[in-house]
Amino acid sequence: MSDFDPGRRRFLGHLGLAGLGALGASSFLSACASSASGPTTSNGSGAVTIQSNLSSPQAKAAMEKLIETFNAQGKGTASLNTIASETFRTQLPTYLTSANPPDLYTWYAGSVANDYASKNLLLDVSEVWKSLDDYPQSLRTLSTDAIGKQIFVPMNNYWWGFFYRKSNFAKWGVQEPKTWTEFLALCETLKGKGVPPIGIGLGDTPWVASAWFDYLNIRINGAPFHRELLAGKQRFDDPKVKAVFTRWREALPYFDPKGKAYPFQEATTALLAGKTGMFLIGTFFADAAPKDALGDLDFFRFPIIDPAVPLAEEAPTDGFFASAKTANPTGTRALLSYLAGVEAQEAYVKASSGIVLPANPRAKASDSPLVVKGKAMLNEAKELTQFFNRDSSDALQPTADTALTKFIDKPDQIDAILREWQAGAEKVFKG
Amino acid sequence: MTATISTTSVTPTRRRRRSARLSPLLVAFVLVPFAVESVWVFWPAIQGFWFSLTRWDGMTPPTFVGTDNYVELAGDATFRGALVNTVIWLVLFGGLSVLGGFGMALVLQKERRWVGFYRAALFTPVVFSLVVTALVWRVFYQPDGIADTLLRAVGLEQLIRPWLADPQTALYAVILPALWRQIGYVMVLFLAGLKAIDPALHEAARMDGANAWQRLRHVTIPQLKGVNAVVLSVIVIDSLRSFDIVWSLTKGGPYHSSELLSTYMYSTAFQSLRLGYASAIAVVIFVLALAVILGYLVRAFREEAS
């Protein structure tokens, strides 16, 4: 499920923009406005077009197989259109606002979907949800827009945690920490052994730092405050937000200094090679791991800081929404019902490589110990959050990237950084 | 006989008429490209100006906000940083590629053994796309990469830093690969110019007792006037449109320290979805490019006239 990841920014998507000159740039901007038709069109009651950003080979093959099975069932026809994920991300608003848009899209649940729903761009899929009555309430709420209709159908979710190699932890003689104090003690021990305790990958993938912010905020201030903050109802220069960074600063000396320079894929390599102790990351990182290392991987949840705060975990949910302007709503809903079913979800989990949990409660996840542990962790949580950009918007993500990378470099400038962050966020909310 | 006479008598009048009225073919050659340009270049450019006066997220219709975007630009610290970086880029990237390219051209202009090989080697980076160049240089800059290994080998390990992730070095670490490519390109332009200089001029100067420096100053450089115009426009345009190498290496980061106007415009438009504001940045880039190039053209025309 790597390609579902929020900020996996693929610069290849920008190749086409390489030569933007000044004039060319303004013309490109206006080209977006004046484009009347989307890149792909479906004709009336014909095939349902599904626009997919699942472009990694395994995920792509898995989707192809699903669509093939659907077509063989005779309930309708669908055609799959796989697009590089960065192109998909930048083009999605254009797809949705075009006069003749593709019917169905892979995307994220939460604020990002609700944003489009509030602009009346998404198809009401409440009818599909009538047959999904065994789905947990949390997923139903997540898929419901502000006026109470369902606009999203979840496919699966995954979790974030501190991943480490079991063999390395055994070698260093250390245990999984439960609390923040234990966590800092573990960092100190690893540092004493000459291992940079905390791996991170911010070069090219600065959004990885947002996981730290999200987790510290939901551990200290709780998930409701976190969501309000990301929705613009609280301020980033609030003392409660500063408290997050005060905690973070306690862990900063234990970060791998090289982590600023390389992307999370290389941070993964460093973790597997034992060059860092642990790594706060989503399960998609395992895509880059060799198969023999997978069995040696384990994780622990982000340590508890304030036991009074209800336990929340990050569990980004991936799935589908449809265009309100689809020419074939019946066919689109039929395809969505199929994709939400046990058969399709199990087939997808089996065919794709990632460590993911199917959304359908009756669909079986992989029975690897890692997945069992992840599922148990999410079940224990009182609240689930999505991820910074999914709980806010892709537009707010760059403001976080700037603020967080600057904080990691210059923690003593935190007041100025938070003021700048608030100013940047206000611009985004204003539009 | 009569036939020939009649044709010869007719031809002049026809010719006269032709010169008075434009040939339809000629009109077509002018109008068709003009129409295409209007639709694909002029109209969108004008629209870009219009969008710079609006607030627009790309989904809902734009709302007119007057000069709000420009007022915001004036107080935007990131924009000011990007403007300063663009000027640094113009001076360093432009200046050094002219100096380097000209120097290399002088060194490699004489036909010697291996000179073809050196010329080809210097020109090779031009062949690679800048995104590929960026990938190669990223390996060079990565922690414990070639750059760090080299510094360690010569005992300068205290200089080692995360080149692309350090706000002090990021911009310069991006200029270097851009230069690496541009020098070869500029060298080829100058080589062509140097070849076109009549060797007799140098011969005459030498006979008059001019030394190498005087010949360079008073013969070679004045003779390269035509090439200089080309080089200048290439450099200015390439500087202002530099985007790919920066985006692939740093995306303008860390925290805007290597942001150029072009990357800031892109991220404002397609990440923050503030297309009105991004159009205002695009207008500024356009005005800058126009100012530099018009300034040069006016001077060039004036010199030609006198």
Per-residue confidence band for B19, with pLDDT thresholds at 50, 70 and 90: low
A137, pLDDT greater than 90: no
B216, pLDDT greater than 80: yes
Highest mean pLDDT pick, A14-18, A24-28, A132-136: A132-136
Q: At what angle do helices B43-51 and B275-305 cross, to 10 degrees?
A: 130
Which amino acid is present at A139? L
B226, pLDDT greater than 60: yes
More confident: A303 or A364: A303
Which residues of chain A make contact with B142, given a CB cutoff of 8 A? 261-262, 266
Q: What is the nearest CA distance from B57 to chain A, expressed in angstroms?
A: 6
CATH topology of domain B76-130+178-305: MetI-like fold (1.10.3720)
Name A4's Cβ contacts closer than 8 Å, sequence gap at least 6. Answer: A53, A54, A106, A108, A284, A316, A318
Do A128 and A12 reside in the same domain of the chain? yes
Q: Is A159 left (phi over 0), alpha (psi -120 to 50) or beta?
A: beta
Do A165 and A252 reside in the same domain of the chain? yes
- Any domain includes A192: yes
Per-residue confidence band for B238, with pLDDT thresholds at 50, 70 and 90: confident
CA distance A218 to A386: 12
How much is the pLDDT for A422?
94
How much is the pLDDT for B20?
61
Kindly state whether B61 is in contact with chain A, defined as any CB-CB distance less than 8 angstroms. Answer: no
Listed by start position, the domains of chain B span 76-130+178-305
Distances (CA, A) of A9 to A13, A406, B39: 8, 19, 32
How much is the pLDDT for A2?
37
- Any domain includes A84: yes
Q: A77-106: per-residue pLDDT in tens?
A: 899 989 887 788 878 888 888 888 999 999
> Rounded to the nearest 5 degrees, what angle is found at the Cα of A383, between the Cα atoms of A381 and A388?
115
Do A112 and A144 reside in the same domain of the chain? yes
Token pair for residue B186? 């500029």
B162, pLDDT greater than 50: yes
Mean pLDDT computed over every residue of chain B: 83
Per-residue confidence band for A32, with pLDDT thresholds at 50, 70 and 90: very low
B196, pLDDT greater than 90: no
Do A303 and A337 reside in the same domain of the chain? no
Q: What is the nearest CA distance from A214 to chain B, expressed in angstroms?
A: 19
A203: nearest CA partner in chain B: B165
Do A102 and A247 reside in the same domain of the chain? no
Q: What's the mean pLDDT in B43-68?
A: 86
A250, pLDDT greater than 90: yes
Which residues of chain B make contact with A203, given a CB cutoff of 8 A? 162, 164-165
- Any domain includes A51: yes
> How many structural domains are present in chain A?
2
- Any domain includes A132: yes
More confident: A37 or A373: A373
Do B244 and A19 lie within an 8 Å CB cutoff? yes
Range of the domain at A52: 2-16+37-157+317-363
3-state secondary structure A77-104: CEEEEECCHHHHHHHHHHHHHCCCCCCE
- Any domain includes A29: no
Per-residue confidence band for B22, with pLDDT thresholds at 50, 70 and 90: confident
Kindly state whether A409 is in contact with chain B, defined as any CB-CB distance less than 8 angstroms. Answer: yes
Nearest to A49, CA basis, from A84, A79, A77: A79
Distance of CA A135 to the CA centre of its chain: 20
Q: What is the ipTM of this complex?
A: 0.76
A243, pLDDT greater than 90: yes
More confident: A240 or B221: A240
Per-residue confidence band for A25, with pLDDT thresholds at 50, 70 and 90: very low
How much is the pLDDT for A313?
92
Q: What's the mean pLDDT in B190-204?
A: 87
- Any domain includes A381: no
Do A149 and A68 reside in the same domain of the chain? yes
Do B143 and A31 lie within an 8 Å CB cutoff? no
Interface of A with B in 143-202 (CB under 8 A): 202
Kindly state whether B38 is in contact with chain A, defined as any CB-CB distance less than 8 angstroms. Answer: no
Do A151 and A172 reside in the same domain of the chain? no
How much is the pLDDT for B180?
87
Rounded to two decimals, what is the model's pTM? 0.80
> Rounded to the nearest 5 degrees, what angle is found at the Cα of A34, between the Cα atoms of A29 and A40?
100
Per-residue confidence band for A300, with pLDDT thresholds at 50, 70 and 90: very high
Token pair for residue B134? 């960026």
- For B169-205, b/e burial (b = at least 16 CB within 10 A) is bbbebbbbbbbbbbbbbbbbbbbebbeeeeeeebeeb
> Rounded to the nearest 5 degrees, what angle is found at the Cα of A264, between the Cα atoms of A89 and A272?
140
User: Coil, strand, or helix at residue A155?
Assistant: strand
> Rounded to the nearest 5 degrees, what angle is found at the Cα of A334, between the Cα atoms of A330 and A335?
120
Do A396 and A278 reside in the same domain of the chain? yes
Mean pLDDT computed over every residue of chain A: 83
Kindly state whether A121 is in contact with chain B, defined as any CB-CB distance less than 8 angstroms. Answer: yes
- Any domain includes A379: no
Q: Is A84 left (phi over 0), alpha (psi -120 to 50) or beta?
A: beta
B33, pLDDT greater than 50: yes
A220, pLDDT greater than 90: yes
Give the single-character DSSP code of B158.
G
B206, pLDDT greater than 50: yes
Do A169 and A148 reside in the same domain of the chain? no
Q: What's the mean pLDDT in B249-258?
A: 86
Which residues of chain B make contact with A409, given a CB cutoff of 8 A? 167, 254-255
Q: A275-285: per-residue pLDDT in tens?
A: 999 999 998 88
Do A286 and A421 reside in the same domain of the chain? yes
Q: What is the nearest CA distance from B45 to chain A, expressed in angstroms?
A: 5
Final residue in a domain of this structure, among A346, A363, A380: A363
Do A180 and A262 reside in the same domain of the chain? yes
B267: nearest CA partner in chain A: A398
- N- to C-terminal Cα separation, chain B: 54
How much is the pLDDT for A26?
38
Q: A349-395: per-residue pLDDT in tens?
A: 887 766 888 888 888 887 788 888 988 898 888 888 999 988 988 88
Per-residue confidence band for A412, with pLDDT thresholds at 50, 70 and 90: very high
- Any domain includes A119: yes
Kindly state whether A36 is in contact with chain B, defined as any CB-CB distance less than 8 angstroms. Answer: no
Do A204 and A133 reside in the same domain of the chain? no
A48-52, strands of its sheet edge to edge: A78-82, A48-52, A104-108, A317-322, A153-157, A357-358
Q: What is the nearest CA distance from A305 to chain B, expressed in angstroms?
A: 29
